[in-house]
Amino acid sequence: MIPAPFEYVAAASAAHALDLLGEHGDDAKVLAGGHSLLPMMKLRLAAPEVLIDIGRLTELSGITSDGDELVIGAMTRHAELAASALVRRGAPLLAHAAAQVGDPQIRHRGTIGGSLAHADPAADLPMALVALGGSVELRGPAGVRTVGADEFFTGYFETVLEPDELLAAVRVPSRPGQPWGYQKFTRRANDWAIVGAAAAGGRIALANMGPVPVRALAAEQAAAGGASPAEAAELAAEGTSPGEDIHADRAFRQHLARVLTRRALEHQRH
């Protein structure tokens, strides 16, 4: 299909992008890698009047260390995350998750900021950020505000990002040597997760078990109280309301959540 007509503007800087967002408001969408937004536009599920391209803004890319956190520019590509020595040492779960996104073409064009702002509850990076207890920096007319991953996602493809704000950077704790586990069940290797599970530092996040990446709080509490991985995993689906589609009904997704959480806990890496 062909997208609805739109105006295209290439932002010259982050400040320019913010000016354009302030001018066009809800009528505008930010274009980063384009692998999430453009398919939705072709299906007419999104029809912005203005596309603001930030793909050339090098000021919004790169990976640095800031004390006990890694700071990742929103325009950093998935392939860069997967290959980064800083990320592989300090937050290996995030590097692994980035390596699972789509195929090589998508990983070399898609960005972490685009994935998080798109907020697909079945995607790899939103689940990873929740499991790591990370946060995002949102830049707007009033300055920069930092929002934790648990509060950033609000619904299917929805976040707290305001129409005049730009997701500028991502922060994740840097904890070399921390055990982590990552599992997802897919039809094909490069598909979105039918269900996913990620564990790190006592936190467990699930993908595609609700409208946002959700914490398996009952399983976390059980594990913290001394339960075995198998015992804790039996509680992973408590409080979840996964959707149903041609791939899985609710009961099967809840079963997968328990199985994948057990695997994520039992086969943790360092």
pLDDT of residue 168: 97
Which amino acid belongs to residue 129?
A: L
pLDDT at residue 20, rounded to an integer: 94
* pTM of this structure: 0.95
pLDDT recorded at residue 102: 86
pLDDT at site 264 = 98
Task: With a cut of 50, list the residues of the chain below it in pLDDT.
Answer: none
> Can you read off the two tokens belonging to residue 105?
């073409």
Q: What angle do CA 5, 11, 15 make, to 5 degrees?
A: 130
Please report the pLDDT score of residue 227 as a whole number: 98
The number of beta carbons lying within 10 Å of the beta carbon of residue 166 is 27
Beta-carbon count within 10 A of 175 CB: 20
pLDDT value at position 39? 84
- Domains in the chain (CATH in brackets) are 7-53 (3.30.43.10), 58-173 (3.30.465.10), 180-266 (3.30.390.50)
Residue of 227, 243, 152 lying closest to 194 (CA atoms): 243
CA geometry: angle at 131 spanning 92 and 173, to 5°?
A: 55
Rounded Cα distance between 256 and 262, Å, is 10
Judged by DSSP in three states, 92 sits in: helix
**In this predicted structure, what is the pLDDT of residue 46?**
85
What is the pLDDT, as a whole number, of residue 177? Answer: 96
Residue 270, pLDDT score: 87
Q: Take residue 196 and report the two structure tokens written for it.
A: 């996913």
